[in-house]
Chains A and B, each alone.
Chain A
Amino acid sequence: MSTGELKKGGWADQDHVPGIKSELLELNMGPQHPATHGVLRLLLKTDGEIVYQVTPVLGYLHRCAEKIAEGVNYKQWVVYTDRFDYLAPMCCNHAYVTAVEKLMEVEVPRRAEHLRVVTAELSRIASHLIALATFGLDMGAWTPLLYCFREREEILNLLERISGGRMLYNYMVPGGVRYDVPNDGWVESVLEFITMLENKKIKDYNDLLTYNKIFIERTADVGVIDEATAKAYGCTGPVLRGSGVKFDCRRDDSYSIYDKFDFEIPVGMGEQGTVGDCWDRYIVRVREIEQSCRIIRQALESLPDGSVQAIDLIKPVKVPVGAAYSRTESAKGELGHYIISDGGQTAFRNKVRSPSFCNLQVVEKVGVGQMVSDLVALVGSLDIVLGEIDR
């Protein structure tokens, strides 16, 4: 539905009571609002409960990360990637180090690649758990939030044991990873955790939230992003796959060692309504958790021996003159880094293509004609992280 079409039949354009002029209500949703997942501001024009226009206003979390990249050396900038998508920092680390390594043409040890995949996939699971939890919360379901956070806590503990950090890890460096597996049964703990997650917890979420009648009523056929729209707006990740497009950088433009693992790419199939509705995006995330578990198991069972760092950690990295773009599949979608090097200690320019930024734009089109409650569902199902949008 376009804005013009709506206006014709709506209340706002007519004078229902002679002498009283009615107009659209301008509403500021955010930056301080419980459902905007951070400091996102949505400028709404509404007619009662129906939304006529949505304009996302960004920049409240801008920290000049890209400019800082021109001032700090390649290794130091890894900590800034942690702060992009702070719900899946390992994936962001991975994206950046892949780009630098592409420029340096350095061979990463196999053991380090395996550890990168394991930690990145654990991060992806943690991020998807938050996505399910907060999406449920947007729908008014409080309890799944606490359940998902309980499992996320386990992941944070595991990642703390290997990297020392709970939220911002700074674990991967160009040429490898910072620390090897701790010898306190870490591998067994991870395997135990993913087995529990696969066998029990996902079933719990499905019983409590996924197939709940009210939840389906709220999400099926709501906020439908069709395939053409998703492609036109550059949506990636679960948002694109929710619209039925089978595209995943891990498979289709394989990086690291993802091509060695056997996993499926779940897509939205319109099981409860239309393809590309909020429920489809939700279920894609649930199924991706299962696939991530599969990848982790394969990566850990074939974990090779050897060193985890190809270059000296203490010396600054030497990057030849040139430019490189690398794209990876982060938890939110395609995360790309374009680095131009002039041969110096720091990058000449570092441009980040963040998935949330592109995914968010779609609300301007899909949000029109929805009810305010459905707009909340739509924004929740896009699973945006403001740290990544504003950088």
Chain B
Amino acid sequence: MDILTALLQGLPGFGGMSDQGLFITGAAVMATLMFTVMALCAIVFTWMERKVAGFIQSRYGPMRTGRWHGWAQAVADMLKILGKEDIIPAEADKGLFVFAPLVVLLGSLLAWVAVPWAPGFVAADLDLGLFFIFAASSMVVIGILMAGWASNNKWALYGAARGAAQMVSYEIPLALATIPVIMHVGSLNTQDIVIAQQGGIWHWFILRDPFLFVAFWMYFIASIAETNRGPFDMPETESELVAGYHTEYTGMRFAFFFLAEYANLFLVSLIAVFVFLGGWWSPIPGLDFAPALTFVIKGILMVFLNMWVRWTLPRVRVDQLMYLCWKVMIPVTLLCIVGSGILMITSGAVG
């Protein structure tokens, strides 16, 4: 934000602007940028998902649209979805029905402001950055509940109830898994977390100590559940609940859910990158030419890992999902916190 304000000040025509005016202009530019990146990542990742799925399932995926490996397929899909009729079921709760996709989108969008793309380049350099991200992305669950309830469809209600239970539960191991890192850094500021990992792959938190290694995988599993993707896609479960909470949605409203899903997927991957995988630092020290690019490439690799898991494993049942969360993952992450803490004390990192 500060960088952007400084940049704007240098531009002709902005020099005479008041600080307040600069702030508002800067915020507007940043928000537009965020939304564009989000929409773009949804388009890129839908194409990528199809290609990855095709690769895993020994087929091609889209090959025609746009000539080169069907690159324009996702764009064409977006255009198609824009042209669809907007249907609101007659018996639906109209207000909630219209509002729900916006809440889901807002939840995903808000969390993005604290993502540290490069040194000093973060939309909002908050002291409680990581905490803010988790808090903002919790809003998604409210949107899902609203959508399921407002649709007045029993399958959608099932999906929403499952989704709410799942996402509320999995936020706990998700946040707990990052606590050992926060203990090491001593700050929740996202920039500080990345700066603490400077100096090559051995300084990344995933390889700092064995407990952090376990914590990373706990985070990874919880993040799959948090984004409602296979093998934990309980709210959608296309073979059980038709399409889950968004059964009744069409057109642009459906696109909002879709957008939010992929934005969320990229978001949790980026969190994994800046918390555990060294953020913008390259694996070999001294090769940090393009920090933002390194950061995004790492994020895309994490997204690929997510897709790989999704297209390989069968789905767990809803009670097994809850069992995994409360009886396996939460105890293990708590153990990681304790273990990591003991290691810190014995190694003299803290007095």
Contacts and interface: CB of A to CB of B under 8 A. Distances in A.
B57 interface: yes
B94 interface: no
A218 B318 CA distance: 10
Interface string B310-342: 011111111110000000000000000000000
Contacts of A142: 53, 57, 230, 311
A136 interface: yes
Interface in A124-154: 136-143, 146-147, 150
A376 interface: yes
A374 interface: yes
Interface residues of A, number: 29
B312 A143 contact: yes
B56 interface: yes
A140 B230 contact: yes
B148 to A, nearest CB: 14
B316 A35 contact: no
B84 interface: no
Contacts of A141: 313-315
Instruction: Find the residue from A136, A143, A150 having the highest chain B CB count within 10 A.
Output: A143
Nearest to B234: A373
B233 interface: yes
A209 interface: yes
A25 B154 CA distance: 9
A208 B57 CA distance: 12
Contact of A212 (B59, B313, B319): B313
A325 interface: no
Contacts of A27: 154-155
Nearest to B241: A372
A143 B239 contact: no
Interface in B21-75: 53, 56-59
Contacts of B216: none
Interface string B221-258: 00000000011010001111010000000000000000
A371 interface: yes
Given A138-B239, A140-B233, A373 B318 contact: yes
A33 B239 CA distance: 8
Contacts of B59: 146
Interface string B141-167: 000000000000011001000000000
A35 B240 contact: yes
Interface in A98-114: none
A373 B240 contact: yes
A35 B236 CA distance: 13
B318 A146 contact: no
A143 B56 contact: yes
Given A27-B154, A146-B59, A372-B158, A139 B315 contact: yes
A49 B240 CA distance: 11
Contacts of A150: 58
Contact of B239 (A35, A146, A371): A35
Contacts of B314: 136, 139-141, 209, 212, 214-215, 218
A140 B315 contact: yes
B307 to A, nearest CB: 11
A49 B319 CA distance: 10
The residue among B312, B314, B318 with the most chain A CB atoms within 10 A of its own CB is: B314
A217 B53 contact: no
Nearest to B230: A140
A376 B313 contact: no
Given A214-B315, A217-B320, A140 B237 contact: yes
A34 interface: yes
Contacts of B238: 34
A34 B239 contact: yes
A341 B218 CA distance: 69
A218 B57 contact: no
A223 B314 CA distance: 18
Contact of A371 (B57, B233, B311, B319): B319
A371 B321 CA distance: 14
B316 A49 contact: no
Interface in A1-59: 25, 27, 33-35, 49
Nearest to A26: B154
Nearest to B57: A146
Nearest to B310: A142
Contact of B242 (A33, A139, A373): A33
B218 to A, nearest CB: 18
B56 A373 contact: no
A49 B318 contact: yes
Contacts of A34: 238-239, 242
Nearest to B315: A140
Interface string B166-180: 000000000000000
Nearest to B316: A214
Nearest to B236: A140
A376 B238 CA distance: 11
A217 B314 CA distance: 10
Interface in A267-326: none
Contacts of B318: 49, 371, 373
A209 B315 CA distance: 11
Most interface-central of A27, A142, A208 (chain B CB within 10 A): A142
A137 B237 CA distance: 10
Contacts of B154: 25, 27
A372 B241 CA distance: 9
Given A35-B239, A373-B318, A214 B58 contact: no
6 contacts: A136-B314, A140-B233, A140-B313, A142-B57, A214-B316, A371-B318
Interface of B: 53, 56-59, 154-155, 158, 230-231, 233, 237-240, 242, 311-320
Interface of A: 25, 27, 33-35, 49, 136-143, 146-147, 150, 208-209, 212, 214-215, 217-218, 371-374, 376
The 9 A-B pairs with the shortest beta carbon distances in the complex, nearest first, are: A140-B315, A141-B314, A146-B57, A139-B314, A35-B239, A373-B317, A215-B314, A138-B239, A214-B314
Given A138-B239, A140-B315, 13 more contacts: A49-B318, A139-B315, A140-B230, A140-B231, A140-B233, A142-B230, A212-B314, A214-B314, A215-B314, A217-B320, A218-B315, A218-B320, A373-B318
